[in-house]
Structure 1
Amino acid sequence: MEGELTEKQKLDSTSASLRVNQPIHSRLQHQTSPSTYLQISTTSMSKRKTDTMPGEPAKRQKREEYKKTLIENDAALPKKKFYRQRAHANPFSDHSLTYPKSPADMDWASLYPSYAVEGEKKSHDSNEGEKSTAAKALTKNVEIADIGCGFGGLLFALAPKFPDTLMLGLEIRTSVTEYVQEKVRALRVQNVETGAYQNASCIRANTMKFLPNFFQKAQLSKIFLCFPDPHFKQRKHKARIVSYTLNSEYAYVLKPGAIVYTITDVQDLHEWMKGHFEKHPSFERVAKIFEEGEGEAGEGMDECVRLMRSETEEGKKVTRNNGMKYVACFRRVDDRAWP
């Protein structure tokens, strides 16, 4: 009969009314997949997130187990994947660092045992009075400093080229420093007959704060600043490794005629470093042939510039990406005589 609703129509109308009056979040939940599916999805997402966390216990355990095996095998070279760390560190943070009060207090003998002065090799067994006066000296001083040495690519390339020159890598990151130290140890064991790599070492240090604590006046002949942190933001420029103040410290530890080598793939940083060194009275730009050479073979290019371009980890990365490398080198000039 028209005008009257059937029993089925009444039920459909009631059901529709309930759905309309139901809260929207409840209706949405009803329309989603079953709870079992949601639970599986959440579990898998949680698992994926845990697997990619850098501090995951399994990764730490693998790293510790690997380092134990490395200790047992002295000649085994370390693998970078177990020493990965953030690309940059804040130089203004209060890092837990050990540094000498002065260069005379530095324990150089522990870094270069083959060059230790006879009688100083076991100076740590001396009494406290002797410790305070013992310099733990070397037969020769460190002359090359690679500031921010990273994984030590340049350091390991320079060591065979200058076998009679002591060189030191300075790196602020803990794991990266440990990698370089382990590699130095392994290479020394591998080359025990020839004595190679006895002239190279690495320490953890913040050179922006403590450079004069390690080196005496006019001690160094070369300083390398390879692919430093560009600190793009203007408020971060004060953290750059080159500034007028820091350049004065570089001038202090460099002997007259010594060279500061800089290289970066960031043009803005290149202009910054170039400008600050050119304005400093203790430095002058070297000849263009020194930095670039002549012809396709780069004839006349300084050997250290050639190695700096090709042997650093960042340099290799820039080459793979077909990027630009900006080089600028500066010579330490003689101090002007007092009038």
Structure 2
Amino acid sequence: MEEGAILSLPQKRYYRQRAHSNPIADHCFEYPSCPEEFDWTTLYPDIKSNAVEFADIGCGYGGFLVTLGKMFPDKYALGMEIRVKVSDYVMDRIKALRTLNPGSYGNIACIRTNAMKYLPNYFKKAQLSKMFFLYPDPHFKKAKHKWRIINNALLSEYAYVLRKGGLVYTITDVEDLHKWMVSHLEGHPLFERLTEEETKLDPITPKLYQSSEEGAKVVRNKGDHFVAIFRRV
């Protein structure tokens, strides 16, 4: 940065990318062969012996990830995003937030990766306490339903990295996708749905609606929201 320049947050218009990405296609990713090989201090300089507990899968432009950082300053959260320009934006955003707010936002980070393929390469068994799937790609065509981030095979991986009592948060504005996610989670023996009362009492629930850029867009357009939270049993 030139001397005298004023640091500001990155602008999304310089990081625009198509909304959809084929998660089955081959992408160029670097990833550890196992969680023990990954150096978390490259993402969180002060993490020491702590571990990441929250995973925002398909974190988009990072709005909800930033909210998590503020809500849980003593917890470490990781955003995982497959789109290169979008993940670049989130990384630059976090870097700017850390510079503008010394001592804050050191507990959030983003990596570009394919969570459908490499989740166990980053997280140990029972490491996570919360996973978030906020406004995932609905992949409307039936032939592409196998690309949906919630399916039977992937749920077993999510159950592996989640500790007992850990929570899976889902929200979408597409009713068909909501029913799909609920039916698959309810059909899996290691997940049970929170009651309506439990869902309302969770302090994160109100943040699901507008913290993400996609959620804020749905609110502006007066669209519907469909929320479901499941517990790892």
Normalised to the residue count of structure 2, the TM-score between the two structures is 0.97
Q: Report deviation, 1:163.
A: 0.2
* Residue 265 (str. 1) matches residue 173 (str. 2): yes
Q: Report deviation, 1:73.
A: 5.3
Q: Which residue of 1 aligns with 2:88?
A: 178
* Residue 256 (str. 1) matches residue 164 (str. 2): yes
Q: Which residue of 2 aligns with 1:190?
A: 100
Q: Report deviation, 1:310.
A: 1.7
Q: Report deviation, 1:315.
A: 0.7
Q: Report deviation, 1:218.
A: 0.1
Query: Runs of 5+ in structure 1 lacking a partner?
Result: 1-67, 116-137, 294-299, 334-339
- Identity fraction in percent: 52
Equivalent residue letter for 2:211: E
Deviations 1:238-263 (A, max 9, x none): 00000010000000000000000000
Q: Which residue of 2 aligns with 1:139?
A: 49
Q: Which residue of 2 aligns with 1:219?
A: 127
Query: Runs of 5+ in structure 2 lacking a partner?
Result: none
Find the structure with the greater CA-based Rg.
1
For 1:1-339, what aligned pairs fall within 5 Å after superposition? 75-115=7-47, 138-192=48-102, 195-291=103-199, 293=200, 300=201, 302-333=202-233
Q: Report deviation, 1:290.
A: 2.7
CA 1:151 to 1:74, structure 2 compared with 1: closer, same or farther past 3 Å? farther
Paired positions, count: 233
Question: Is the 1:226–1:264 Cα contact (8 Å) retained in structure 2?
Answer: yes
Q: Which residue of 2 aligns with 1:41?
A: none
Normalised to the residue count of structure 1, the TM-score between the two structures is 0.67
Equivalent residue letter for 1:257: G
CA 1:222 to 1:74, structure 2 compared with 1: closer, same or farther past 3 Å? farther
Give distance in 2, aligned partners of 1:261 and 1:73: 40
Report the secondary structure of 1:222's partner residue. Answer: strand
Question: Is the 1:181–1:202 Cα contact (8 Å) retained in structure 2?
Answer: yes
CA 1:73 to 1:207, structure 2 compared with 1: closer, same or farther past 3 Å? farther
Give distance in 2, aligned partners of 1:274 and 1:320: 25
Question: Is the 1:74–1:186 Cα contact (8 Å) retained in structure 2?
Answer: no
Equivalent residue letter for 1:90: N
Greater relative contact order: 1 or 2 (C-alpha under 8 angstroms, separation 6 or more)? 2
Give distance in 2, aligned partners of 1:74 and 1:210: 38
Equivalent residue letter for 1:146: D
Q: Report deviation, 1:222.
A: 0.2
Equivalent residue letter for 2:96: A
Give distance in 2, aligned partners of 1:72 and 1:167: 33
CA RMSD of aligned residues (A): 1.5
CA 1:285 to 1:73, structure 2 compared with 1: closer, same or farther past 3 Å? farther
Q: Report deviation, 1:306.
A: 1.1
Give distance in 2, aligned partners of 1:281 and 1:109: 36
Question: Is the 1:155–1:200 Cα contact (8 Å) retained in structure 2?
Answer: yes
Question: Is the 1:74–1:189 Cα contact (8 Å) retained in structure 2?
Answer: no
Give distance in 1, aligned partners of 2:21 and 2:40: 26
Q: Which runs of 4+ in 1 moved over 2 A?
A: 71-75
Give distance in 2, aligned partners of 1:318 and 1:278: 26
Q: Report deviation, 1:107.
A: 1.8
Give distance in 1, aligned partners of 2:9 and 2:175: 35
Higher strand share: 2
Higher helix share: 1
Equivalent residue letter for 1:178: D
